[in-house]
Amino acid sequence: MTGARVLPLTGVVRDYAWGRVGGISAALGQEPGDGPEAELWLGAHSGAPAKVVDGSGQWDDLAQWQESNGEDLPYLMKLLAAASPLSLQAHPSTEQARAGYAREEERGPARDAPDRSYKDPHAKPEVVVAVEDGFDALCGFRPVEEVLALLDALGGQVDAQGLETWRSRLTGSADPATGVRDAVAWLLSGDPAVEELVRALGEADLTGPAGGEAELVRLLAGHHPGDAGIAVAFMLNRVTLRAGEALWLPAGNVHAYLSGLGVEVMDPSDNVLRGGLTGKHVDVPELLRVLDFTPGPPPRLVPVEVAAGVRAYRPSTQASGADVPWQLLEVTGPAEVGTGSPSIALVLGGEFTVAAGADDAEDATLTLGRGGTCFVDRPASLRIEGQGRLFLATTPP
């Protein structure tokens, strides 16, 4: 068997409307484009497989590599540049994804239809690491006590009967998660009282304890006026990450990124169940089916320093991520890294040389500057030389 090869890789930029104008190009140190650049996909997902330079001519992209090798790349890596809020969303578990995909394969809609909820039979747990300060997100349900205090503050400023219904739904059960579920289900039900409530929130000049939410209401209403997701956002934790800080988003976690630049790694899936704050397909019943309504603090993920200049973001350190095989490494200096799968590297600062074998072996060494990406086509003991900031998606050896 030949040794591992380190091959140049070119990701695919997705131009979703919420992306920063020229955002991905700028992050990669390239000439910015004049349109929205939301995500750079680095993986084998059939929706946008990354292009690979393979001198043997066996394959042109990672989807072809995956098919020819008979193995699945266990992750999808992305660079995300958000200028405006993403949808209110969650992702299914493996069991939920398999059941939902089978159901839609049998009954429709077509796999590429815009109103399809399940694009594939896979879960989509994910980690996002802030590349720069100020990555802003809504993530997970706030403790009920915080929401009730906020509703109390709104009571003197928002003239809407829906506030009392909201409170009664939230407190109608001794189990906090059940109360949260009942409140969210009502807010997303299409009830005219919710429409009036959202309108009142948008028109109110929020002050005092509720004043901190005024900017959030303006932000969301500016992009999605009248959307019930604006009210749901009051029930979510708001998190602003500094560079290097991370969130762990397991199956069922409700979230909506608001703005920022981040690196994501996830299972290789495109299953997104949306409840609002979007012009895309919304599937409230299915979202309610998969959501984890347990309130609590934001699900931060603290990296583990595994060697000098190497930090590992590992979902497996969390109870809800015990079966997640992949990890994201951040490398800032010379390091030796063992991998248990093919790997993808992305350089966002400085220059690095990635070597997977003897220096004179064919395709075993590649030097990458800012914006450079590469694919290591099998498990290897990597030697990484250089200084800067390199992200490596792989599995532990």
Please give the tally of structural domains in the chain. 2
Q: Is the pLDDT of residue 135 over 90?
A: yes
Q: Is the pLDDT of residue 94 over 60?
A: yes
**Residues annotated within a binding site for Zn(2+):** 89, 91, 126, 255
Q: Is the pLDDT of residue 270 over 70?
A: yes
CB 351 within 8 A of CB 367: yes
Q: Which domain holds residue 223?
A: 143-234
Find the mean pLDDT for residues 138-150: 97
Among 142, 167, 274, 314, the active-site one is 274
Q: Is the pLDDT of residue 231 over 90?
A: yes
Please check whether residues 148 and 230 belong to one and the same domain: yes
Residue at a domain's end among 203, 234, 265: 234
For residue 395, count CB atoms less than 10 angstroms from its CB and return exposed for 0-12, middle for 13-18, buried for 19 or more: middle
pLDDT in tens, 285-317: 999 999 999 999 999 999 999 999 999 999 999
69-101 b/e (C-beta count within 10 Å ≥ 16 → b)? eeeebbbbbbbbbbbbbbbbbbbbbbebbbebb
Question: Which of the four pLDDT bands, split at 50, 70 and 90, describes residue 156?
Answer: confident
Find the mean pLDDT for residues 263-276: 97
344 inside domain = yes
pLDDT at 75: 98
Long-range CB contacts (within 8 A, 24+) of 184-188: 184/232, 184/235, 184/288, 184/291, 184/293, 185/288, 187/228, 187/231, 187/232, 188/228, 188/229, 188/232, 188/275, 188/276, 188/284, 188/287, 188/288
Please check whether residues 147 and 228 belong to one and the same domain: yes
pLDDT at 195: 96
Question: Which of the four pLDDT bands, split at 50, 70 and 90, describes residue 105?
Answer: very high
Residue at a domain's end among 234, 255, 277: 234
pLDDT at 33: 84
pLDDT at 70: 85
Rounded to whole angstroms, how far apart are CA atoms 256 and 27? Answer: 22
pLDDT at 358: 66
Q: Is the pLDDT of residue 251 over 80?
A: yes
Q: Is the pLDDT of residue 69 over 80?
A: yes
Residues contacting residue 121 through CB under 8 Å, at least 6 positions apart: 97, 98, 101, 102
62 inside domain = no
Rounded to whole angstroms, how far apart are CA atoms 252 and 126? Answer: 11
pLDDT at 71: 85
Q: Is the pLDDT of residue 56 over 80?
A: no
pLDDT at 3: 84
pLDDT at 319: 86
224 inside domain = yes
Question: Which of the four pLDDT bands, split at 50, 70 and 90, describes residue 83?
Answer: very high
171 inside domain = yes
pTM for this entry: 0.95
Q: How far is CA 157 from the centre of its chain?
A: 35
Rounded to whole angstroms, how far apart are CA atoms 174 and 143? Answer: 14
Return the minimum-mean-pLDDT range out of 30-34, 116-120, 164-168, 364-368: 30-34
Q: At 312, which CATH number? A: 2.60.120.10
Can 378 be counted among the known catalytic residues?
Answer: no
Residue at a domain's end among 215, 234, 253: 234
pLDDT in tens, 15-48: 999 999 999 999 999 998 889 999 999 999 988 9
Rounded to whole angstroms, how far apart are CA atoms 392 and 384? Answer: 11
Q: How far is CA 142 from CA 170, 238, 336, 397, in A?
A: 12, 9, 41, 37
21 inside domain = no
For the chain, give the mean pLDDT: 95
Q: Is the pLDDT of residue 1 over 60?
A: no
pLDDT at 360: 61
pLDDT at 197: 95
pLDDT at 296: 96
Rounded to whole angstroms, how far apart are CA atoms 81 and 78? Answer: 10
Residues of the chain with pLDDT > 70, as a percent, come to 97
For residue 145, the SS3 value is helix
314 inside domain = yes
192 inside domain = yes
Question: Which of the four pLDDT bands, split at 50, 70 and 90, describes residue 211?
Answer: confident
DSSP character string of 195-260: HHHHHHHHH----GGGGGGHHHHHHHHHHSTT-THHHHHTTEEEEEEPTT-EEEE-TT--EEEEEE
Question: Which of the four pLDDT bands, split at 50, 70 and 90, describes residue 155?
Answer: confident
292 inside domain = no
